[in-house]
């Protein structure tokens, strides 16, 4: 396989696939009746969502009292879920935008599904702050600064409002970026379609894309700009989410480390979710040649690196709590690790800092069962990180007479469970109807027919 005459890039797509193999193997799942496995997962996810929706409806009827919230714990599992799901989304943008700007070509096999994950995760996240108000049909209007009969404006100095803008922009730009990236692939599916209705739907979705060189030259610039816009955007979104906490004066929240700490944590948890979903997707849709062990290994390295950043942030918080000499701050952190919520703290620390260390070993990084389990632990750990931040700071504030323990109820857990169902439901629909791999992008990084032939003849000598 030694070829000296032509530049030979790293082989990202295995098993010597041709361009038409790519189209066949990626599009086929959109063209045939879904498998039993797909229906099983889809029905399970939909049932989970319906359970959550039912519980949420009861909550709307009876009020927020059905939740575990109390004084002083005004924020609970819903806010934890909001931060968790927004964080999950960040890995998708990191893969699609930041790795694109850094010319990491391996991203092309995974960026489509990671971006889809971003969009569905943001859709899931947005539910929580809205239903947390108890009367979402008012809340959604009160968040938007428009001239209204109340004669009031929103408070532009509040991080909660910054959040509305940050998350709204994030969702819009991610959706545009994802859709624009998908136009050429939708055209591929359109051109394969035999069924008239499918042909019509994909013709509309592909906007009549024809692959013209003049169009590609605009397209590539637009794609690069959207990547360039998404990069600072994604960093800003979790920074703004962290301001929700950091701008408050509560010990444990009021720290300047929060923006980078939240962004690192978001990427960490997001990559764990990408690994979890891709392991399932590549098995379910036979995409092992495209989403290779090599890709998964690279993601595992990022998980380990960001896991250590998060670990550093945990340590740094403790150091500053001691070094600042502020007794409230110091107490908040001692209470975090050794107070009534010690179990949450140590679940977080072991899942996020200790368990990913196994990725120092190449065997672990390249083993599907190991990485699947580690990714699940990271997801659990990152959920608990947000729980620790939200609840341990709130439950013991300045006046001991107002301290209280927070226990989520079945409504909290059921609606949380429902949110996973909602997210997976959309992801499964995406896998069924849209190309899960960016076909046009991976063709650009594959050896062309000519090069493959040269490699073949030279190799057989």
Site residues (CB under 8 A) for other proteins?
18-20, 23, 145, 151-153, 155-157, 159, 161-162, 165-166, 168-169, 172-173, 176-177, 180, 183-184, 187-188, 190-192, 200, 203-204, 207-222, 225-226, 229-230, 232-233, 236, 240, 243, 440-441, 443-444, 448-450
Task: State which residue, 31 or 220, has the beta carbon closest to other proteins.
Answer: 220
Angle (CA) 376-385-121 rounded to 5° is: 60
Distant-in-sequence contacts of 32-41, Cβ < 8 A, 24+ apart: 34/432, 35/284, 37/284, 38/284, 38/428, 38/431, 38/432, 41/424, 41/428
Task: State which residue, 66 or 199, has the beta carbon closest to other proteins.
Answer: 199
Are 231 and 98 within 8 A, CB to CB? yes
- Residue 454 C-alpha from the chain's centroid: 41
Placement of tokens 């489509």 in the chain: 112
Task: State which residue, 187 or 355, has the beta carbon closest to other proteins.
Answer: 187
**Minimum distance of other proteins from residue 240's CB (angstroms):** 6
d(CA 219, CA 202): 19
Q: What is the DSSP string of 217-249?
A: HHHHHHHHHHHHHHHHHHHHHHHHHHHHHHTS-
**Minimum distance of other proteins from residue 23's CB (angstroms):** 5
Angle (CA) 416-30-421 rounded to 5° is: 5
In the chain, the N- to C-terminal Cα span, in Å, equals 9
**Minimum distance of other proteins from residue 390's CB (angstroms):** 21
d(CA 299, CA 271): 7
**Minimum distance of other proteins from residue 115's CB (angstroms):** 14
Task: State which residue, 34 or 228, has the beta carbon closest to other proteins.
Answer: 228
**Minimum distance of other proteins from residue 426's CB (angstroms):** 22
**Minimum distance of other proteins from residue 45's CB (angstroms):** 30
**Minimum distance of other proteins from residue 447's CB (angstroms):** 11
Positive or negative, the Cα torsion across 38, 40, 41, 44? Answer: positive
Task: State which residue, 297 or 454, has the beta carbon closest to other proteins.
Answer: 454
**Minimum distance of other proteins from residue 241's CB (angstroms):** 11
Task: State which residue, 40 or 142, has the beta carbon closest to other proteins.
Answer: 142
Task: State which residue, 204 or 407, has the beta carbon closest to other proteins.
Answer: 204
Are 121 and 143 within 8 A, CB to CB? no
**Minimum distance of other proteins from residue 170's CB (angstroms):** 8
Tokens at 444, concatenated: 């650009």
Number of residues assigned to the chain? 461
Task: State which residue, 124 or 188, has the beta carbon closest to other proteins.
Answer: 188
Closest alpha carbon to 204 in 212, 213, 196: 196
Q: How many C-beta atoms lie closer than 10 Å to residue 5's C-beta?
A: 8
Task: State which residue, 196 or 400, has the beta carbon closest to other proteins.
Answer: 196
């Amino acid at each position: 396989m030694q070829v000296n005459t032509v530049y030979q890039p790293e082989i990202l797509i295995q098993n010597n696939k041709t361009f038409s193999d790519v189209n066949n193997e990626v599009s086929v799942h959109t063209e045939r009746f879904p498998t039993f496995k797909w229906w099983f997962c889809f029905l399970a996810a939909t049932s989970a969502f319906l359970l959550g929706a039912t519980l949420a409806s009861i909550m709307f009827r009876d009020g927020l009292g059905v939740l575990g919230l109390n004084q002083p714990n005004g924020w609970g599992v819903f806010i934890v879920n909001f931060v968790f799901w927004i964080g999950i989304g960040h890995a998708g943008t990191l893969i699609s935008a930041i790795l694109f700007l850094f010319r990491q070509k391996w991203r092309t096999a995974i960026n489509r599904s990671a971006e889809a994950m971003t969009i569905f995760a943001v859709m899931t996240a947005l539910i929580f702050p809205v239903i947390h108000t108890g009367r979402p049909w008012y809340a959604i209007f009160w968040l938007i600064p428009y001239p209204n009969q109340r004669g009031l404006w929103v408070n532009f100095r509040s991080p909660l409002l910054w959040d509305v803008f940050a998350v709204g922009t994030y969702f819009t730009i991610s959706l545009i970026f994802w859709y624009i990236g998908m136009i050429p692939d939708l055209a591929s599916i359109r051109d394969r379609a035999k069924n008239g209705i499918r042909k019509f739907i994909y013709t509309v979705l592909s906007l009549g894309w024809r692959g013209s060189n003049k169009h590609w030259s605009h397209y590539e610039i637009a794609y690069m700009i959207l990547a360039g816009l998404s990069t600072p955007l994604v960093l800003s979104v979790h920074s703004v989410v962290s301001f929700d906490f950091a701008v408050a004066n509560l010990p444990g929240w009021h720290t300047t480390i929060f923006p980078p700490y939240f962004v690192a944590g978001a990427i960490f948890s997001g990559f764990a979710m990408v690994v979890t979903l891709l392991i399932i997707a590549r098995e379910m849709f036979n995409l092992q040649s495209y989403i290779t062990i090599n890709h998964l290994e690279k993601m595992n390295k990022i998980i380990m690196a960001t896991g250590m950043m998060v670990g550093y942030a945990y340590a740094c918080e403790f150091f500053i709590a001691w070094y600042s000499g502020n007794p409230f701050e110091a107490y908040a952190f001692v209470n975090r690790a050794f107070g009534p919520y010690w179990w949450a703290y140590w679940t977080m620390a072991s899942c996020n800092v200790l368990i990913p260390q196994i990725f120092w070993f190449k065997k672990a990084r390249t083993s599907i069962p190991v990485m699947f389990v580690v990714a699940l632990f990271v997801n659990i750990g990152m959920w608990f990180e947000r729980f620790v931040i939200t609840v341990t700071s709130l439950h013991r504030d300045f006046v001991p007479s107002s301290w209280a323990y927070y226990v989520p109820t079945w409504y909290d857990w059921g609606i949380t469970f429902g949110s996973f169902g909602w997210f997976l439901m959309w992801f499964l629909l995406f896998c069924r109807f849209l190309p899960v791999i960016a076909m046009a992008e991976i063709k650009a990084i594959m050896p062309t027919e000519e090069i493959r032939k040269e490699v073949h003849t030279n190799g057989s000598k």
